[in-house]
Structure 1
């Protein structure tokens, strides 16, 4: 499917048909739609198909006066114990007169970008570089928004994980870690694209656009730093959890060993008095009470010693 937008009075509004200076938003396209866009806008066929490969990495290419920019954008893939994100490619193709974006799905980033663009009321698709930089800024802002949500979630899970007996909280933390790993890799790739844009080899940047590019780079690097910090927090939290589990296991083993020692005392004494040989007090009518009192005193003494050494 695809939607077409034009700029009108500084706003991005739907258009009925393609024309110069329009944005074609192509998502989850069929072969017929790909062929139509390719022929209508004279776009290189590989430029339309590269962004439809889920494993495509961020990069920028220029060929026959057409520019392809591939970014990685966050995409929700799981809504189980934790809403886990991965990233998918998004292509921006710049021709002499039009802008085409290509994505595997109708991603919420498109609606967010339109909302942000319409707030300024100064948007003009005749300035394609301005469009590209603002779109990358919207992508970066989405990363930061999701990272802040992860930060709040981490604070909640940090308390839960240290009280965890089952594996549910651990699975949640691993989901966060996987999301952060995807984010870190994608943001690094997007930063490489921004550096290449800054070089001026692919796009000519006016002074105003250069300032906007610097703002986008700052936001993107902030997102990278946030991701690295959260990954470090995750690693430290899991290391601390492992240490606590090992310590708790040692305490349990010490407790069980101490109980086993105490319970072994009556077993030894009663086994001795079960033998068919002459034993102390065997001729006394109070032998049963003497043996039990002795057993109790020995157990109490061992319990006191183990308690003093903090084994119990």
Structure 2
């Protein structure tokens, strides 16, 4: 799908066709659409479709007539019925005529530009647009990181009561998302670093402050990711420790019960042996069975008290 946007009188709106200084927004384009835009703007189709490959790496390339920038942006998907965070490539191609963004799906990063909610946004100021995209991406990463931490807190609160398999899957998804985020945000930082030395397009004086903001927010996202990875790892270790402790408690209780039940089993086994009754205590005594049963009960109760004091029960 292809959409065209153009800024006029400080307002960005959709236009029906390609025009000079417009923004071409391509979402999961077909090969025919890619060939159409590539021919119109004089770019390589492979560069135009680079961001459609989910394994594409972040980079900046400087062919003769245009600039290709590929960055990673956060996205959401559902795996095993659980909401998970991933990163997907976003391609940006800058030419003298227009700027093109290519993504495999609709992205929250571009939504504010499309809805005309961005201050000082203009399709004519292409390099500023790139800075704003990277700033929005960093802020969206931070928002996703806060959501990840809230989910971790919910799982941690359940640990005291009971943990279901769904919680374990959720925690694993959070760890996986943080790994993706850590790699992608650092790679975006490398792109920002290269943009500080970029001189092919006109850079307005106020753009430097915007670039600095994008660098600061991206670095903050890097630090947040590292912190939350450590916290999630601590939560996983806490869950593992609690599971081991609960298993130990169960094993202690079962062992104690086995010891108590072993007493009547051993005594009854002795009296069940094929030996002369005159050699067995209380065998010929009136109420001998009751006496033996009472002795067994006393021994069991005594052992119960000892185990209770030793916190084995």
Q: TM-score, normalised by structure 1?
A: 0.94
Spell out, residue by residue over 1:78-103, the C-alpha distance to the aligned partner (whole angstroms, 9 max, x if none). Answer: 06543102111110000012101111
Structure 1, 72-81 or 43-52: larger mean CA deviation:
72-81
- How many residue pairs get aligned? The number is 310
C-alpha spacing 1:165/1:274, structure 2 compared with 1 (3 Å) = farther
Aligned partners of 1:206, 1:22: CA distance in 2, in Å?
18
Structure 2: gaps of 5 or more residues:
none
Structure 1, 73-82 or 237-246: larger mean CA deviation:
73-82
Residue 5 of structure 1 pairs with residue 12 of structure 2: no
Question: 2:113–2:121: 8 Å Cα contact kept in structure 1?
Answer: no
Residue 181 of structure 1 pairs with residue 182 of structure 2: no
Q: Which position in structure 1 is the counterpart of 2:93?
A: 93
Q: Which position in structure 1 is the counterpart of 2:74?
A: 74
Q: Which position in structure 2 is the counterpart of 1:282?
A: 283
Aligned partners of 2:201, 2:234: CA distance in 1, in Å?
42
Query: What is the Cα deviation at residue 16 of structure 1?
Result: 1.7
Question: 2:128–2:203: 8 Å Cα contact kept in structure 1?
Answer: no
Q: Which position in structure 2 is the counterpart of 1:303?
A: 304
C-alpha spacing 1:47/1:218, structure 2 compared with 1 (3 Å) = same
Aligned partners of 1:272, 1:25: CA distance in 2, in Å?
88
Q: CA RMSD in A?
A: 1.7
Query: What is the Cα deviation at residue 165 of structure 1?
Result: 4.5
Q: TM-score, normalised by structure 2?
A: 0.94
Structure 1: gaps of 5 or more residues:
none
Aligned partners of 1:48, 1:66: CA distance in 2, in Å?
11
Query: What is the Cα deviation at residue 71 of structure 1?
Result: 0.8
1:138 aligns to what SS in structure 2? helix
Alignment of structure 1 residues 79-228 onto 2, 5 Å: 81-115=81-115, 117-120=116-119, 122-200=120-198, 205-228=203-226
Spell out, residue by residue over 1:165-213, the C-alpha distance to the aligned partner (whole angstroms, 9 max, x if none). Answer: 4422111111111111111111111111001101235555443212110
Aligned partners of 1:257, 1:156: CA distance in 2, in Å?
34
Query: What is the Cα deviation at residue 233 of structure 1?
Result: 0.7
Aligned partners of 1:106, 1:289: CA distance in 2, in Å?
82
1:6 aligns to what SS in structure 2? strand
Structure 1, 157-166 or 168-177: larger mean CA deviation:
157-166
Question: 1:10–1:118: 8 Å Cα contact kept in structure 2?
Answer: no
Q: Which position in structure 1 is the counterpart of 2:43?
A: 43
Structure 1, 15-24 or 42-51: larger mean CA deviation:
42-51
